[in-house]
Amino acid sequence: MGWLAWERFRCNTDCKNDPENCISERLFRSMADLLVNEGYASLGYEYINVDDCWLEKERNAFGQLVPDRQRFPRGMKSLSDYVHSKGLKFGIYQDFGNYTCAGYPGILGYLETDANTFADWSVDFVKLDGCYSHPLEMDSGYPEFGYYLNLTGRPMLYACSWPVYQIYAGMQPNFSSIVTHCNMWRNFDDIQDSWASVESIMDYYGNNQDGIVPNAGPGHWNDPDMLIIGNFGLSYEQSKTQMAIWAILAAPLLMSVDLRTIRPEYKAILQNKKIIGVDQDPLGIQGRRIYKHKGIEIWSRPITPLYQNYFSYAVAFVNRRTDGTPSDVAVTLKELGYFSYAVAFVNRRTDGTPSDVAVTLKELGLASPTGYRVEDLYEDVDYGVLSPQTKIKVKVNPSGVVILRADVQADYNRRVPFYTTQRTVYNPLNQVFRIRNNNF
C-alpha cells in the first residue's frame, strides 16, 4: 500500500512553468508529508514510489544512474532518507530494456550496478518495467535482476512487468518462475483516468480468472494497477466500485492522486478501514467474479476469521447495466460454489436507477450452520448474525457497488474455540497457499 506518481503526474518535467506538479523531489516530499499528516500512513499506506522520468539522459562515468540534477538537486539518497524519516518506505522505477518507457537509461548491461545503486540509496521497492526489451529475454533477465537485488542484502519489494509484455507478444508467461522471483506483477493494460479503463481491467480479471487467481498469495500478487480514486475520470459511485473490486482481488493499493487537493468523499473511500482490512487479509486468497448477468456482477473472496472448514466472506455486488430498469438477481448454490467469501455486488448499468439484488447466504456459498455476522462496509450497517437460509436484498446504484463482509461464527453452545488462523486451510482453488517472505 502506498502512493505512486505515474497515473496522476505522468512525465511532467516542466518545473519552470509547473513547479507544483512536475516530477521532482519537491513533489515526493510533499506527498510523503501528506501520507503521514492526513492519516494514510496509519492505515497502511507506507510506500512513496517514484516512477519514470526521474533520471538524467545519460549515466555517469562509472555507469551509474544519475537523478535529474535540476529536479532532484539533493539526490535520491537524500529523498529516500526524508521518506524514511517519516516512517515510510521509498520506491523507485527502472526498465528491463535499453531505455525506460519515457526514453531514459534502461537497465540492460547494468543489472548488478543498478541493484547496488538502489541498495546504496536505501530503496525499499523496485518497479521494473519492460519497454525497449525483448520478451524472450525476460524469462532470464527478470530473475537475474532479482538475484542481484537479493545479493545486496537489502530487502526490496520487486514489482515486475514481465508477464504483461509477454502476453502482448503472444507468449504464455511462465508463472511458476514469476511467482518465485517477483513479489507483484502486471498482467494487463496500464490504467487510465476513466471508468472504461477500470471496467476493462475488471473484465480482464473476471474473464481470465481461472489462469490468474491461482498465482496470487502472500508475498506474490497480481497487480491490476493503480487506484485512480480522487482524480478526474471516476464518479463517486465508480470510485467506490474500484476500491471494492481491488480489495476483492487482493490487489496492491497504490494511490495515484494529488493528495493536496483530493475531495473529502474520495479521501474517505481510500481510508475505509474495513475495506482495507479485506484487501490486506492475511490469507491472501484472490477473489473471483462468481456471477455475471445483464450488467449485474457478484465478486467474492474468502477471508479470515476461520471456523472449522468455513471461511468468512467479503461480497461485492456490481451493477453495470444501462437499460433503466431495476433488476432482481437469483443465483443457485451450484452456480456460486460452496465456499465462504468477501462479496461485492457490482451494478455496471448506467441508467440512473438502482438495481435490486436478492440472494440467500446459502446461494452465495455461505453454508456454515453456525451462521455469519454480516456487515455493509460502505454504509457501516451491521445486519447481525444471519443463517445460511436468510435472504438479503441490496440496492446497487448504477456503476456502483455494495460490498458485504460475512464473518463466520463459532458454535458457542458447543464451547468450541474460535481460531482466527490456522496453518493449513481448505482452499476453494484446490491449492494451499503458504506464507512466504520474498526478500528482494
pLDDT tens digits for 301-310? 999 988 777 7
- 133-145: pLDDT as tens digits: 999 999 999 999 9
Are residues 146 and 197 both part of a single domain?
Answer: yes
Residue 15 clears pLDDT 90, i.e. is over it: yes
Closest CA to 341 of 210, 215, 429, 222: 429
pLDDT score of 19: 98
Say if residue 330's pLDDT is above 80.
Answer: no
Quick check: 416 pLDDT over 80? no
Domain presence at residue 428: no
Q: Is the pLDDT of residue 421 over 90?
A: no
Domain end (from 229, 244, 279): 279
pLDDT digits (tens, 9 = 90+) for 82-92: 999 999 999 99
CA distances from 405 to 45, 303, 383 (A): 22, 9, 10
**Same-domain status, 381 and 328:** yes
Residue 23 has pLDDT above 70, yes or no: yes
Which stretches does DSSP call E strand in 140-266? 157-160, 184-186, 221-223, 254-255
On whether residue 308 sits in a domain, the answer given is: yes
Query: Both 245 and 301 in a single domain?
Result: no
DSSP element (H, E) containing 291 = strand 288-293
> Considering 120, 139, 190, 193, which one is annotated as catalytic?
190
Residue 331 in this model has a pLDDT that exceeds 50: no
Does 299 lie in the same domain as 212? no
In a domain, residue 423? The reply is no
**Whether residue 181 is found in the same domain as residue 77:** yes
Residue 224 lies in a domain: yes
Least confident of 217-226, 360-369, 426-435: 426-435
Distance of CA 46 to the CA centre of its chain: 14
Give the pLDDT confidence score for residue 321 in this predicted structure.
65
80 and 9, same domain (yes or no): yes
**376 in a structural domain:** yes
- The enclosing H or E element of 306 equals strand 296-307
Looking at every residue in the chain, the average pLDDT score rounds to: 89
pLDDT recorded at residue 341: 60
**pLDDT value of residue 349:** 87
CA angle 81/83/87 to nearest 5° reads 105
Residue 326, pLDDT above cutoff 80: no
When mean pLDDT is compared across 60-74, 178-192, 362-376, the lowest value belongs to 362-376
Segment among 7-11, 168-172, 279-283, 416-420 with least mean pLDDT: 416-420
pLDDT of 376 above 70:
yes
Look up the pTM and report it.
0.90
Q: Is 210 a catalytic residue?
A: no
Is position 422 within any domain? no
Domain encompassing residue 46: 2-279
When pLDDT is cut at 50, 70 and 90, the band that residue 323 belongs to is: low
* Candidate list 129, 223, 225, 407, residue with the active-site label: 129
Based on the fold, state whether residues 45 and 185 are members of the same structural domain. Answer: yes
Residue 423 has pLDDT above 60, yes or no: no
Looking at the fold, whether 270 and 306 belong to one and the same domain comes out as: no
Whether 83 maps to a domain, the answer reads yes
Domain boundary among 279, 312, 336: 279
Indicate if 305 and 271 belong to the same structural domain. no
CATH code assigned at 176: 3.20.20.70
Bridge partners of 342, per DSSP, are: 301
Residue 228 shares a structural domain with residue 309: no
339 versus 149: the higher-pLDDT residue is 149
For residue 334, pLDDT over 50 is answered with no
Structural domain count of the chain? 2
Q: Is residue 426 part of a domain?
A: no
Say whether both 339 and 391 belong to one domain. Answer: yes
What value does the mean pLDDT take over residues 301-325?
Answer: 76
Grid cell, residue 312, equals 468468512
- pLDDT the model gives residue 312: 78
- pLDDT surpassing 90 at residue 410: no
Mean per-residue pLDDT for 6-14? Answer: 98
φ/ψ (deg, to 5) at 29: -65, -40
**What's the pLDDT at 404?**
96
Question: Is 223 considered catalytic here?
Answer: no
Confidence of residue 322 (pLDDT cuts 50, 70, 90): low
Q: What is the pLDDT of residue 419?
A: 36
Domain match, 275 and 317 both: no
pLDDT, position 309: 76
Helix (H, G, I), strand (E, B) or coil at 59: coil
Residue where a domain stops, chosen among 279, 300, 332: 279
**Structure confidence by residue, pLDDT tens digits, 208-259:** 999 999 999 999 999 999 999 999 999 999 999 999 999 999 999 999 999 9
Question: What is the domain-level CATH number for residue 299?
Answer: 2.60.40.1180
Q: What is the pLDDT of residue 305?
A: 87
- Span 166-207, pLDDT tens digits: 999 999 999 999 999 999 999 999 999 999 999 999 999 999
Tell me the angle at which helices 75-85 and 25-37 cross, rounded to the nearest 10 degrees.
10
- In a 3-state reduction of DSSP, which class is residue 146? helix
* The pLDDT of residue 327 is above 90: no
pLDDT value of position 319: 80
pLDDT tens, 110-136?
999 999 999 999 999 999 999 999 999
